A and B are shown apart, each in its own frame.
Chain A
Amino acid sequence: MMSAAQSQSVRTGRITRTFIYVFLLVASLFYLLPFFIMLVNSVKPLSEITGGNMMALPQVFTLEPWAAAWSSAQVGVEPTGLRPYFWNSIKMVVPAVFISTVLGALNGYILTKWRFRGDTILFGLMLFSCFIPFQIVLIPMARILGILGLSGSTYGLILVHVVYGIGFSTLYFRNYYAAFPTELVRAAQIDGAGFFQIFRRIMLPSSGPIIVVCVIWQFTNIWNDFLFGASFASGSGAPMTVALNNLVQSSTGVKEYNVHFAGAILAALPTLLVYIVAGRFFVRGLMAGSVKG
């Protein structure tokens, strides 16, 4: 294993190596600096921000802004903090990710292993949905949500995100399953497994890496979405992103930057968590697949 890794790595001279490290350092600074500023300023009293250097470490360390952002800051007209909206987002993102991933997996399974006349055209149309800009569907979508009686509700948002997510999740799973040996499906058919049994017992257990990719993609997109949230779920049903905007916009009087920073980090935390947790499995899954055989 070690020797293989060594023989594969490109031999580099000392100067090139130094250059690479410096470049990487600068690049990571570039990305980490904004996060550093957000973090540092979210644990300072407001007076330290308005009166001094944004880059300075806090003289008085306080978690007050975090508490305020979470539970008592003014969001819109209510002093609720971001908490209820955080749960709104969770209630939206978990079912939406789950449903769109499952449907994508089913679609991929059908489009590769249960081929039918016109399946390529259907797949092409689904791919098309990946490229439709959000803005174009706003008004028709609002109409449909109205007809279904789902306007302004979390269910409505789930529906919108599932519909939008299916294109991508189908693409992921179809391409993954296209390389999955059809003989396995045939063997399972002869063994007497039905449509869903084959899916559950044969296909899904081998789909780890692509499930992780799909979940990361969908989670990030749906959690970070602002446009659909602002358009279809205003007021107390709004997701985190919309609430964060309201928090920043709705300051009556003085702008509480420290609270805003804390709120912004709170809004970014779940996607960060998904990357760290799932990303691990992602790499592990890829490695397991490539080494065996």
Chain B
Amino acid sequence: MGFLDINNVTKSYGAVEVLHKVDIAVEEGEFLVLVGPSGCGKSTLLNMIAGLEDITSGEIGINGRVVNGVHPSNRNIAMVFQSYALYPNMTVGQNITFGLEMHGVPKPERDKAMNDVAKLLQIEQLLDRKPGQLSGGQRQRVAMGRALVRDPDVFLFDEPLSNLDAKLRVDMRTEIKKLHEKLKTTIVYVTHDQIEAMTLSTRIAVMYEGYVQQLGTPKEIYDTPANLFVATFMGSPAMNIMNAKVVMKDGRPHASLVTSEGGEALLPFSQDNMSEWDDKEVLLGIRPEAITDPDGADRKSSNVVALENRIIVTEPAGSDTFVTTNLGGKDVISRLRADVPVSAGEMFGFAVNMEKAVAFDPATEKRIEG
């Protein structure tokens, strides 16, 4: 049993079930990120943890206590909203201490707590301003200050960075991570940005259509996605999914794919149990960074194979060059080092790191374990 225990929780609006039997146990000090496309039920789950939405069935426990039906203010949680939800009529200082005031904390203590938090977040000079007089980043800090001052068991964040511009978002992301490393408080964080999910979390729950598709560390999610949805949702550019047939050659399972020239490419699997799929169709998943130029290939990998293919499009992105080819009937993106000379229409010798390749069952779309 975890510090925050989400136990078989479902949520229905009328006859429509929007969350189906969600089961997550969060350890103390963990940074759990709920990630998924719009409408998958992330906010609903977060609001249920906060007590802002009723739980249709199942149980939520915080710090060893079942909190079903407990009022939000008595769950010892704090929440940072997407819109920040700062009280417009109060100063920054009053915003931060409002919760303490409602809990009957005497004024001297409130002021001390406020000053500590203001110092931590470097917003001391803003305490007398109204939220309307702050920039987006400053509002974001104040919203976090309001949550921090409560010293809660669990922090809940609902897409806190989505209203900031790109640069500020990256800065605040680092800052949130630093804050977590310093305070070690348990955090549940909702986002639809998979990069935020990867960089911040200690564990990720990928959600889709009201189901938790996979729960695991960022590395597990990235390297061994449970199914096709997780594989394509996490990572940018997305994982390439190709139609392949398993064939045996020299006693080893290989993926047979059609190249852009209509020829056959044979890529040996690293997973021996793929031989059980001999002569069957699978979906082969390879991330763009595992299809490179030969010099850029992972030297530690024991299974790098060469592949000749025709380049359709090149997209130099500064740090890397992305190259599109056709493989297994699909457009496939590969990631080359920036200074490799390539141009559209040419044949090019790629290096494919098959250690990182995964295969999916075309019928169930689940990853074939290996």
Interface residues in chain A, defined as those with a beta carbon under 8 Å from any beta carbon in chain B: 181, 183-184, 186-193, 197, 201-202, 205-206, 292-293
- Chain B residues, CB < 8 A from A187: 79, 81, 85, 87, 146
Decide yes or no: A293 and B77 within 8 Å by CB, A186-B52, A190-B50, A197-B102 being known contacts.
no
Flag if A205 contacts B85 (CB, 8 Å).
Answer: no
Flag if A191 contacts B73 (CB, 8 Å).
Answer: yes
Could you tell me the distance in whole angstroms from the C-beta of B89 to the nearest C-beta in chain A? 4
Flag if B87 contacts A202 (CB, 8 Å).
Answer: yes
Contact string, B70-82, partner A, CB cutoff 8 A, digits 1/0?
0111100111011
Cα–Cα distance between A192 and B75 once the two chains are bound (Å): 10
Option from B52, B103, B146 in Cβ contact (under 8 Å) with A192 = B103
- Chain B residues, CB < 8 A from A202: 87, 89
**CB within 8 Å: A-B pair count:** 59
Q: Helix, strand, loop or mixed for chain A's interface?
A: helix
Cα–Cα distance between A139 and B89 once the two chains are bound (Å): 46
Cα–Cα distance between A189 and B50 once the two chains are bound (Å): 10
Flag if B87 contacts A184 (CB, 8 Å).
Answer: yes
- Chain B residues, CB < 8 A from A293: 132
Q: Which of B73, B103, B146 has the most chain A CB atoms inside 10 A of its CB?
A: B73
Decide yes or no: A186 and B99 within 8 Å by CB, A191-B73, A292-B132, A293-B132 being known contacts.
no
Flag if B78 contacts A188 (CB, 8 Å).
Answer: no
B115 at interface, CB cutoff 8 A: no
Chain B: interface size category? 20 to 34
Decide yes or no: A191 and B102 within 8 Å by CB, A181-B83, A183-B82, A293-B132 being known contacts.
yes
B277 at interface, CB cutoff 8 A: no
Cα–Cα distance between A201 and B94 once the two chains are bound (Å): 11
Flag if A190 contacts B83 (CB, 8 Å).
Answer: no
Flag if B89 contacts A193 (CB, 8 Å).
Answer: no
- Chain A residues, CB < 8 A from B77: 190
Decide yes or no: A193 and B102 within 8 Å by CB, A186-B52, A188-B87, A292-B132 being known contacts.
yes
Flag if A184 contacts B103 (CB, 8 Å).
Answer: no
- Chain B residues, CB < 8 A from A205: 89
Decide yes or no: A190 and B73 within 8 Å by CB, A181-B83, A183-B82, A205-B89 being known contacts.
yes
**CB within 8 Å of A: which of B82-118?**
82-83, 85, 87-89, 98-99, 102-103
